[in-house]
Amino acid sequence: MNWQWLHRFGSPKWFYEKTGLWVVALGLCSITLLVVGAVWGLGFAPEDAKQGNSYRIIYIHVPAAVISMAGYYIMAIAGGVGLIWRTKLSFIVMRAAAPIGAWLTFAALFTGAVWGKPTWGTWWVWDARITSMLILLFLYLGVIALQQAFQHQDSADKTSAILALVGMVNVPIIYKSVEWWTTLHQPASIKFTQKSTIDPSMLYPLMIMFVAFYAFYFWCLLRSARAEILRREQKTAWVGEILMKGSR
């Protein structure tokens, strides 16, 4: 099997050159979908029979929570690929993904607290899902801290990748927490093997927000990775040419 395409994609120079248009396309796509989904969900979706309008925060909270977990897998897998194949781009993606995932996790925790106050009567409870989400935030912050703790980038990358891989065990715990333990969180309303318990008039804008958040995530990831490439490769001739063109 010809693996040349994989090695080419692992080249920071090739990645930087090929993703310029991707950034523009993802940026336009994410902004459009975020506006459509937010207006539909926050302004036109019907009220919930039990929670009234307070449920509308679901259109921010749920996508942020789901993509913070998916983003952790992206970060950890990138770190694992970097450890196995020693590809510089993998470590770059790992580092770029960490702060984005941390902000999404914080957004999920914050919006969950705002939603919890009118629903549960409290801002915070130490139930299994909330606690495991807090651990996810600490794992993201741990990767960020390790990237800053070492003088040599190679040591920082390897140590961060190991922490990211070890922390992967927390993601299925978050997902299964409502089934394994008694928590205030309800079971998932969106199901792929059974009929979803959420009404289609509420589900459609939520699905748009999922796509919008994914597009926004990858837009941020590409922008951050491209900036990190320029930082790490600043002594190379091709980056020097780009910086010279930008300064004109």
pLDDT one-digit tens code per residue, 9-49: 778 999 999 999 999 999 999 999 999 999 999 999 999 98
Indicate the average pLDDT of the chain: 91
Q: Which of 105, 45, 51 is nearest to 75 (CA)?
A: 105
Taking the C-alpha atoms of residue 209 and residue 205, their distance in angstroms, rounded to an integer, is 6
User: Where do we find the tokens 């248009």?
Assistant: 21
Using 50, 70 and 90 to split pLDDT, how confident is the model at 8? Answer: low
Percent pLDDT > 70 in the chain is: 90
The end-to-end CA distance of the chain, in Å, is 45
pTM over 0.85: yes
Position 3 pLDDT exceeds 60: no
Look up residue 92 and give its two tokens: 């770059």
pLDDT for residue 56: 96
Decide: 101 and 72 in contact? Cβ < 8 Å: yes
| Six token digits for residue 111 | 């919006």
